[in-house]
Amino acid sequence: MAAMGIQKKFFIDQLASQLRETARIARAAEEDAREAAATLATESEKREDSRSALEYGSLATGQAARHKKTQDELEALTRFGEQPMTTFKRDTPLSMGALVDVATEGENGREERSFLLLPVGAGTELSGPDGDGFLSVITPQSPVGKALMGKRVGDSVEVNIRGQWREWNIVDVG
């Protein structure tokens, strides 16, 4: 089980890296948009340039909000990652930090998915060490996260994803 804690740390670090990159891109886009707005506002007094300057100003404000949100998510993830990792057993109710394997029988046979329940990063795809396997990050606020919280190995959950109902059986947890 110590290896599972190391693996979870690997995934948390990977998500943190992605969040830092998103914050960097948002900050750069904000600066570019502010510079474009300032340049357009001072170069000409034409009405169209003024409108463009306003649009770039709005874009800069949106990128600033994106940067702030990403920084907040990174802080929440860092706080979570600093806590001891919960060791989940088959009869432990699922909660934050659970690495969950689910399966369903569908038209194309058995489908298996892995999820990591974290405070932020819903929908982010992470790859395992050495690129082996993929999992999706879910949060308690996401539809899948809501359905899985408190469940145990052997339980089934129904989740509506993009208008389509899916039933998953919880087959393993770590």
Confidence of residue 7 (pLDDT cuts 50, 70, 90): confident
pLDDT digits (tens, 9 = 90+) for 95-146: 999 999 999 887 788 889 999 999 999 999 999 887 778 899 999 999 999 9
**Residue 6 pLDDT > 60:** no
Q: Give pTM, 2 decimals.
A: 0.79
Task: Flag whether pLDDT at 174 surpasses 80.
Answer: yes
- The residues facing 111 across adjacent strands are 104
d(CA 81, CA 173): 18
Rg of the Cα trace of the chain? 21
Neighbours of 63 (CB within 10 A): 20
Provide the β-strand partners of residue 173.
100
Tell how strand 125-127 and strand 164-173 pair up.
Answer: unpaired
CB atoms within 10 A of CB 107: 5
